[in-house]
Structure 1
Amino acid sequence: MTTTGEVRHEAAGGPWWWERRRGAVLDIGLAVVSAVECAAEGVAYAQRGGLPVWLGVLIGLVVGSTLVLRRRWPIAVVLVSIAVSPASMGFLLTVIGLYSLAASEVPRRITGCLAGMSLLGTLIVVWVRMVQDQDRLEFGGWFVPFMAVTMSLGLTGPSVLLGLYVGARRRLMESLRERADSLERELQLLAERAEERAEWARGEERTRIAREMHDVVAHRVSLMVVHAAALQAVARKDPEKAVKNAALVGDMGRQALTELREMLGVLRSHEPAKQPSGELPAESSGEPLAAVGAAAAAAASRAEVEQGPCLAEVDALVEQSRAAGMAVDLSVDGESVPYGPEVEQTAYRVIQEGLTNVHKHAPGAKTRVRLAHRPGEVAMQVENGPSPEGADDEARLPSGGNGLVGMRERVTALGGVFVAGPTDSGGFRVSAVIPGGTSAA
């Protein structure tokens, strides 16, 4: 972050109340010049008043030196200049003191009151001095008031106006600096939040891809393992059936590879184009890579949903399980209507995962698949009975426990209801109801 004005002042701090060393040098130099001026004027004042010269010089040095306090106590400096105005000393003290007072944070009513007092004091002093010297002047009676007003305004007005301008400009610059610092902090917070959102989007996309990979691979590989076991059992007894099972295994493998290629093809089609050699990378151009990656991931997700399976392929899915030796009964209630692509794919995946779980955990069990088209929703259920007695436990396939989690995430993401659990007969049931948003024509 950019260093704020306060930090810059502290980095270049000066002695005592000065924020910078050059400010201290400037004030001390002005105080020296003012002291010399007041000392010279103190000599004339001592001669007019019949005082010792050294006393007039001492008074002048003390009065002029008060200018060094103009930043810390500008009101005191102006009061001193007003107090010594009858002695006709402190010209520089008056000008610099009024300027410092107007440029400071002193309330404007106090500044106006002291400026008026200084103006009135200068007017009176000049008027009296001009009247005293009137015998040596050859001008008319108008000259005395004209000179008194002109000199008092010339001594007071420019100093006050310049101080007001500098003070307003300083406050404006400080306000702009604070606003810039605040804006920079807000931009940093926005960047952090954008990074958090992008990280969340990447995590969601990784979860979605993992879920799709699980649905594709687990079902196909489970069928391949079942057919491979059957192939091993009948290889010597029934060569024709072994050849048929081998062909089914090959078909399952090719289907799995095809689905994986389609999925990876969708992801690759949304990769950012290669950066030309003469252009800056995306980080330098100011475009957040996280946002680009999240947008590409969302586009890939939409494309994958549009190209995914649908309810019309449920018959073929059930036939594959039957070909693997599973006793599956499929029933469809209601009239089929077109649903949104996400609804159709989610319903298909629920049935697919339910059949996969039967292959893994209850090989040989009778299974019933129900699909119901209802007004405004679609319901599906996969229920299997207990495994037959004497079933080989080694035939059971390993499971990572992610299938049910993935189905629940899919269904709840669409506002549906998902229920899974064992039945009273010792089997297992998977049920889901999804709101049926119809696809746009």
Structure 2
Amino acid sequence: MTGTGEQQVGAGRDGPLWWGRRRSAVLDVGLGVVSALECGLEGVAFAGEAGLPVPVGVVFGLLVGATLVLRRRWPVAVVLVAVATTPAAMGFLLAVVGLYTLAASEVPRRITGLLASMSLVATFVVTYVRMQGAVEADRWYVPVVSLFMAVALTAPPVLLGLYVGARRRLMESLHERADSLERELSLLAERAEERAEWARREERTRIAREMHDVVAHRVSLMVVHAAALQAVVGKDPETAVRNAALVGDMGRQALTELREMLGVLRSTESVVRSAAVPSPVPVVAAVPVVGVGPVGEEGPSLGALEALVGQSRAAGMVVELEVHGSVRSYPPEVEQTAYRVVQEALTNCHKHAPGARVRVRLAHREQEVAMQVENGPSDAAVADAGLPSGGNGLVGMRERVQGLGGVFVSGPTEAGGFRVSAVLPGAGGGGLP
């Protein structure tokens, strides 16, 4: 067994053999030399008492004392040698350091207690026998002094070793916890970075969807009005002036909404930059709610549907608006998503069904709001405005609706037209299940 108070937790291994560090090896070798010299000198007296040649006693003492070098590797063996040589009255340093090393090591406590008890008893017996024949005193004097000597030579090194071992284990536990916390903080930082990247992607997608809705709808109406202006400029100047004013209004509205969204983009970039500053606490980026308008702005709402339909009527489209149920307010993200769905559906009607009749239905239900935009077949007599299509309109509408936990359905009708339907939860929902 290894492990004494001298070993530093987490230190690198650079010592020979079983020693973790070079200075530990130097210390043990030094203690072994001192113990060997002590036992060698005490071996002279032992040889005289046992009737052995002095060289034999000296060599025996040197060998016994030198076993202290093995205290980190085999502390149990060192203590057993010390107990076995107690009758020879040698190995004071061997016994004290051996007991300390045993108590500080990872040896089971029952074994430590057993060996400490053996050392205590052996010291008491040897001291009692030697004093019994050499000292004439009261009958209580010899046992009390023997017990005191046994306890004094056994208890302090054992208690000190237990304290050092417990302290070392506590330090190891604290270092392990610190390493574990460091790993957890690193993992949290990685997750925070992943969430921040995910939030950035979501924000880019949201802004792209908003810009698509604004540009597609406003510019589509501008193109339609411009075509009408070109057709009537020479025939009906008043109509041409009116269409030119509408084109200007559409352009200004588009620019206003684009500026608002670009302001959101700049504020988002500043938040991301501030989140990139090192901090002792991991920063988790705020995830924008799908469909929420620019910061400080509620964005379009269901109350603006009449104006939205009016813009399409002004562009020459025949649009009917039906509202069912009692009108009430909804969370901003619900109202904006409903508005954008109708807006994009009307834009698709301008692109793909010029001259078709369009019906817009809005239903306020108990726990939800539903909207439907349906157009009939395109009028072949109406010239196509030549509006480009990126193919992302229906995808964007579906993402908006499903992001709020709603249902989106689109497809052709039996009459040859096209229908877009969406249902949104009145409380805003919580995203996809």
TM-score (norm 2): 0.89
Given the alignment, which residue of 134, 159, 179 partners 1:181? 179
Say whether the 8 Å CA contact 2:290–2:403 is kept in structure 1: no
Q: Distance in 2 between matches of 1:431 and 1:211?
A: 19
Is 2:118 the counterpart of 1:117? yes
Given the alignment, which residue of 348, 359, 364 partners 2:350? 359
Q: Distance in 2 between matches of 1:124 and 1:6?
A: 38
Identity %: 70
Given the alignment, which residue of 410, 424, 429 partners 1:434? 424
2:157 maps to a residue whose letter is: S
- The RMSD of aligned alpha carbons is 2.7
Q: Residues 422 and 302 of structure 1: is their aligned pair in 2 closer, same or farther, counting only changes over 3 Å? A: closer
Q: What pairs up with 1:93-172 in 2 under 5 angstroms?
A: 93-134=94-135, 139-172=137-170
The Cα of 1:166 is off from its aligned counterpart by 0.9
Q: Distance in 1 between matches of 2:291 and 2:29?
A: 71
Q: What pairs up with 1:361-440 in 2 under 5 angstroms?
A: 361-389=352-380, 391-392=382-383, 395-437=385-427
The Cα of 1:316 is off from its aligned counterpart by 1.3
The Cα of 1:8 is off from its aligned counterpart by 3.5
Q: What pairs up with 1:190-229 in 2 under 5 angstroms?
A: 190-229=188-227
Q: What pairs up with 1:312-323 in 2 under 5 angstroms?
A: 312-323=303-314
The Cα of 1:272 is off from its aligned counterpart by 5.8
Is 2:318 the counterpart of 1:333? no
Moved more, 182-191 or 228-237: 228-237
1:283 alignment counterpart: 277
The Cα of 1:268 is off from its aligned counterpart by 5.5
Structure 2 unmatched runs, 5+ = 1-6, 429-433
Say whether the 8 Å CA contact 2:337–2:401 is kept in structure 1: yes
| Residue correspondences, number | 421
Moved more, 297-306 or 29-38: 297-306
Q: Distance in 2 between matches of 1:81 and 1:287?
A: 55
2:168 maps to a residue whose letter is: R
The Cα of 1:305 is off from its aligned counterpart by 8.6
Q: Distance in 1 between matches of 2:403 and 2:167?
A: 57
1:17 alignment counterpart: 18
1:160 maps to a residue whose letter is: V
Q: Residues 102 and 256 of structure 1: is their aligned pair in 2 closer, same or farther, counting only changes over 3 Å? A: same
Q: Distance in 2 between matches of 1:52 and 1:91?
A: 22
The Cα of 1:355 is off from its aligned counterpart by 0.5
1:342 alignment counterpart: 333
The Cα of 1:282 is off from its aligned counterpart by 7.5
Say whether the 8 Å CA contact 2:216–2:347 is kept in structure 1: yes
Structure 1 unmatched runs, 5+ = none
Q: Distance in 2 between matches of 1:385 and 1:306?
A: 35
Say whether the 8 Å CA contact 2:19–2:25 is kept in structure 1: yes
Deviation readout 1:127-171 (Å, 9 max, x if unpaired):
222123226xxx544432232122111111111111111111111
Q: Distance in 2 between matches of 1:6 and 1:354?
A: 72
The Cα of 1:281 is off from its aligned counterpart by 9.8
The Cα of 1:265 is off from its aligned counterpart by 4.3
Q: Distance in 2 between matches of 1:410 and 1:248?
A: 29
The Cα of 1:76 is off from its aligned counterpart by 0.6
Q: Distance in 2 between matches of 1:246 and 1:210?
A: 28
The Cα of 1:36 is off from its aligned counterpart by 0.5
